[in-house]
Amino acid sequence: MFDRANFADTCPQRANVIEWLSFEKGQSVVIHSSAPSAVTSMLRDKGVQLQVLSDTQVEKLAANPGKGSLDYVIVLGMEVDAKFLAGLYRKVKPEGHLVVLLHNKYGMSYLAGKPAFGEQYYASLMENHAGKSAFSSLKGMEKLCKEAGIGEFSRFYLDPDGDFVTNIYSDKYLPRNGDSSVKPRNFTYDRLAMFEETAAWNQVAQEDMYPIFANDYLLVTGPELKQAMVRYSNDRAAAYQIKTEIYMTEHGMEVCKTALHPQGVDHLVKMAENYQKLCQQYESSVFTMVPCTWNGVSLVSPFVKGVTLSERMKAAMAKGDEETVFTLFHTFLNKLRQGEDLAFSNYDFIFSNILIDGDNWQVIDYEWTIDKPVPAEELAFRAAYCFSLEHKDFPFEDICRILNFDNQKVQQLINRETAYQQSITGGGEALGTLCEKYGGDVYTKDALLRALEISTTDHRAQIYEDSGKGFREEQSYFVEHVLTHHDEMELTLKVAVGMKALRVDPCEEPCLVQIKRLWWNGEEQYLDKQIEVNGIKGKGGKNSYPEYIFATKDPNFTLSLDKMQEGDGSFNELKLHLEIHKLSLQLANALTKSIKRII
């Protein structure tokens, strides 16, 4: 059984929040014991002199008036105030760092419905500002630092949040439209999703308001850090896990890629070789390959500004300008066709890896170059397919027709891409997939409105009893609050001994109903032949009930009780577990006609 709490505590990605800081062997580091064990394990691996203190001990450390000589004091999500931070700040060396994770009370996910305190939704918005808190606003964080006497500090923005960090931004490098698309991984909590966060992030990025709505902040005191942005790709097999950092240098920004494990060094060295190969394959007038150099530790490239092909595509789609979308794709495809036919291919020609500056198309990443030729049409297909996974309005089917790929070819290439992704992840499941399978529930606005609609209109079922004189309205009753989860209904009925039949009216709209299970006096029964409906019966499997289609606003089914074995008391117990899906009358009639033709 998947242990969500243990996974969230030990998952290596939890350490991304501070792994990128410049920890050196032998440095003195203090962290509180409620921090994830993945973080403390990472620090021990770096060889620092680590002290793990209880929250109470950290409080005492802050209250101690003496000066400190610590290199790092790390507080991840504890409640803080100015006095507490001032005390901890005094404990670090002048060149040392106090590192504090603060949740943004106006963070996008908290506004959408991520619980702020345990299961308290929107509580951070109404929090009393007096006293300690793990939440702060952007201006509130600046105020905290000022009141705590903290002079130099840097602030970073954690994406998607401080739990499972993928990207770390700063004021020197903020996300662009489309960059913040990773959803928070809710392994340990259920959450609401009252709006589509990706669309909201795009708007925020366009208006340069990301710092205000970033989900979590990381405050780092002391001398300014050189990193402008950090991205982790450690949701892969160890041989492919890398950290990408954008550094500020005296010559401008540069991009540095570092292997997170020793076995990943070969992967980066090969990327430097890929650069040389691709320069041979494509003339600079077709694609300009951004250069990279292996310095023995990292792969270094100049930072190149520009608008990606992905951004161009999204901008055109937002305007409904399909002509530009197809023009961009045709240009891309024609450029791919101009490469020399050599014994290798850049499998990483995805839209986000291409910067367009006028006629200059620059390739900024070529991590996945493979040692076999791949036709230009298949490279273009992969780029389009990967883009379509995140952008449902992309005309992917039309692109397939442009490439002259039939359904069989498309499925073959999709299967190949799936296998390729599995080879990258080492056969394991990506973090997002694990969260979808094992994480907490996510309740969307539409689902909640639907539940409200159901709770106010379909919250009861009407039961008719036939004691030998047929069904009559005066011999019927309602069972309230029968919906249990989504579209499922559970009924437990007391049936008087001698009753001839029961009729169940599950709702008052056209619908599709399936009896999932049926019990009579505590024993599960299969009674398909004893059930009559005023709808159409589909085909069921062995010992499984069929689906019933009701093209009427008075759906009902009747259960004959003549052959049922009576219990010992004056009542029998009938228990039903149903699945109900509302239908429009038009759809119900269409399904009825289809089933009649099949039968």
* Dihedral angle, C-alpha 431, 433, 434, 438, nearest 10 °: 140
Calculate the average pLDDT of the chain. Answer: 91
Alpha carbon distances (Å) from 294 to 274, 304, 419, 586? 12, 18, 29, 65
According to DSSP, residue 504 is labeled E
Reply yes or no on whether the pLDDT at 457 is more than 60. Answer: no
The per-residue pLDDT for range 76-109, each reduced to its tens digit, is 999 999 999 999 999 999 999 999 999 999 999 9
The per-residue pLDDT for range 324-375, each reduced to its tens digit, is 999 999 999 999 999 988 889 999 999 999 999 888 999 999 999 988 999 9
Domain 281-429's class?
mainly alpha
Predicted confidence at residue 181, as pLDDT, reads: 78
Predicted confidence at residue 120, as pLDDT, reads: 84
Report the residue count for the chain: 599
Tell me the residue type at 229.
Answer: M
- The encoded tokens of residue 93 equal 């060396």
- The encoded tokens of residue 199 equal 């669309």
According to DSSP, residue 416 is labeled H
Predicted confidence at residue 117, as pLDDT, reads: 74
CA distance 522 to 520: 5
Could you state, in order of their start, the residue ranges of all structural domains in the chain? Answer: 4-175+207-235, 281-429, 458-598
CB 31 within 8 A of CB 70: no
- The encoded tokens of residue 551 equal 């093209």
- The encoded tokens of residue 38 equal 């993945």
Residues 6+ away with beta carbon under 8 Å from 446: none
- The encoded tokens of residue 434 equal 């694990």
Closest by Cα among 25, 24, 18, 13 to 74: 18
Reply yes or no on whether the pLDDT at 455 is more than 80. Answer: no
N- to C-terminal Cα distance for the chain?
43
3-state SS record for 100-151: EEEEECCCHHHHHCCCCECCECCHHHHCCCCCCECEECHHHHHHHHHHCCCC
CA distance 72 to 206: 36
CA distance 157 to 179: 13
Alpha carbon distances (Å) from 350 to 119, 183, 198, 419? 40, 21, 20, 17
CA distance 563 to 529: 11
The per-residue pLDDT for range 106-116, each reduced to its tens digit, is 999 999 999 98
CB 29 within 8 A of CB 41: no
More confident site: 598 or 288: 288
Containing H/E element for 326? helix 322-337
Quickly state the pLDDT bin for 154 (edges 50, 70, 90).
very high
CA distance 484 to 521: 21
Predicted confidence at residue 581, as pLDDT, reads: 87
Predicted confidence at residue 520, as pLDDT, reads: 93
Tell me the residue type at 332.
Answer: F
Q: Region 591-597: what's the mean pLDDT?
A: 76
The per-residue pLDDT for range 511-533, each reduced to its tens digit, is 999 999 999 999 999 988 899 99
* Dihedral angle, C-alpha 155, 159, 160, 165, nearest 10 °: -90
CA distance 301 to 257: 9
3-class secondary-structure state, position 42: helix
Axis-axis angle for helices 322-337, 376-390 (nearest 10): 140
Quickly state the pLDDT bin for 306 (edges 50, 70, 90).
confident
CA distance 177 to 557: 53
Cβ neighbours, 10 Å, residue 576: 21
Q: Considering the chain, what percentage of its residues have pLDDT values greater than 90?
A: 67
Reply yes or no on whether the pLDDT at 484 is more than 70. Answer: no
Axis-axis angle for helices 138-147, 82-89 (nearest 10): 60
Predicted confidence at residue 592, as pLDDT, reads: 84
Predicted confidence at residue 398, as pLDDT, reads: 95
Quickly state the pLDDT bin for 73 (edges 50, 70, 90).
very high
Domain 4-175+207-235's class?
alpha beta
Predicted confidence at residue 481, as pLDDT, reads: 65
The per-residue pLDDT for range 10-66, each reduced to its tens digit, is 999 999 999 999 999 999 999 999 999 999 999 999 999 999 999 999 999 999 987
Tell me the residue type at 424.
Answer: I
Backbone angles phi, psi at 271, to 5 degrees: -60, -40
The per-residue pLDDT for range 214-264, each reduced to its tens digit, is 999 999 999 999 999 999 999 899 999 999 999 988 888 999 999 999 999
Q: Region 424-436: what's the mean pLDDT?
A: 86
Its pTM stands at 0.76
Backbone angles phi, psi at 102, to 5 degrees: -125, 135
R_g of the chain, CA atoms, integer Å: 31
Closest by Cα among 507, 468, 516, 476 to 493: 476
The per-residue pLDDT for range 373-388, each reduced to its tens digit, is 999 999 999 999 999 9
CA distance 337 to 345: 12
